[in-house]
Each structure stands twice: as C-alpha cells, then as structure tokens.
C-alpha cells in the first residue's frame, strides 16, 4: 500500500463515526464533501471510490466511483469529476442503505493519486486491476452506518 503524506478528510464525515442520514440511501443520498491534502508530485489525476466491504454480497458493495479529479490540495469538486458506475447499476454516488438489523457497516472512502489518466468509467474492480500500477499514493476515510 502506497501511503505517505496524502490525506483524505471531510467536513461532513468524521473518521470512525456514523454517517449522517442526509448522506444515506433512504434520504436522498447527498454526496458528502471530501478534501485532500499532500497530493504527491507526479499526480496526473485523483480518483475516488466508496466501498462497503460489509455488504452481504461476494465483493461487498461499491457506492461511488469518481474519476478525472484535478490533482490539487483542497476540497474536491465532484462536478469536475467523471462519475463511474456503482453497484446499484447507476452512475454517481449512492448512499449507505444496509439491510435493517445488519449492524454497523463500514464505508471506506478512498482517494487514489494516479500517475496516468483513467480512461472511460470502469467499475471498481476493473479500475483497481487496471490502474494498480498507476497508484502513486492512496488514503482513506472510514465511517459507519446502520439501519
């Protein structure tokens, strides 16, 4: 894992804390704001993935893929990114919506600093396979949600 100075934070989500309902699936799923700092030299673009490994599916559930973000420190403008597919057969952010009574699910928001541009809009698995060699550095923010 490539980690050094890259950090991912959010004014909307606190590390290890419960995600607010306004970012959850059943309440309209507003995408949380994310910010990066320590973007390494040589970064061509940033990519974001939000994934729930606790979902009762073979590979968890991907809530968000976002590509083509500018490689600059500060709040990331999702409007400047290129939404990719989530596991709800849609493009863009889909909020947490775990099964009732399934306990806390962990939501990993990842940012990847990449040495080359992502072509098209791959799903999470395809992106990770095809661009693993382009990851200069990565960082994560983890929060929880349950219903």
Contact 1, 133 (CB under 8 A): no
Q: Provide CATH code, domain 7-145.
A: 3.90.280.10
pTM over 0.85: yes
What are the structure tokens assigned to 34, written together? 């994310």
Rounded distance, CA 55 to CA 107, Å?
Answer: 10
User: At 27, is the pLDDT very low, low, confident or very high (cuts 50, 70, 90)?
Assistant: low
Rounded distance, CA 131 to CA 135, Å?
Answer: 7
Digit-coded pLDDT (tens) for 59-111: 999 999 999 999 999 999 888 899 999 999 999 999 999 988 898 999 999 99
Digit-coded pLDDT (tens) for 33-62: 999 999 999 999 999 999 999 999 889 999
Every domain of the chain and the residues it spans: 7-145
Instruction: State the DSSP code for 87.
Output: T
Say what the pLDDT of residue 47 is.
98
């Amino acid at each position: 894992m490539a980690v050094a100075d890259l950090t991912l934070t959010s004014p909307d989500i606190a590390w290890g804390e419960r995600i607010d309902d306004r970012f959850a699936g059943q309440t309209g799923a507003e995408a949380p704001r994310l910010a990066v700092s320590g973007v390494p030299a040589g970064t061509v673009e940033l990519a974001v993935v939000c994934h729930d490994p606790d979902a009762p599916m073979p590979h968890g559930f991907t809530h968000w893929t976002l590509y083509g973000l500018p490689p600059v420190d500060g709040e990331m403008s999702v409007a400047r990114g290129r939404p990719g597919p989530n596991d709800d057969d849609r493009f863009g952010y889909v909020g947490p919506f775990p099964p009732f009574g399934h306990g806390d699910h962990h939501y990993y928001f990842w940012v990847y600093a990449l040495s080359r541009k992502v072509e098209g809009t791959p799903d999470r698995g395809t992106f990770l396979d095809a661009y693993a060699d382009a990851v200069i550095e990565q960082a994560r923010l983890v929060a929880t949600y349950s219903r």
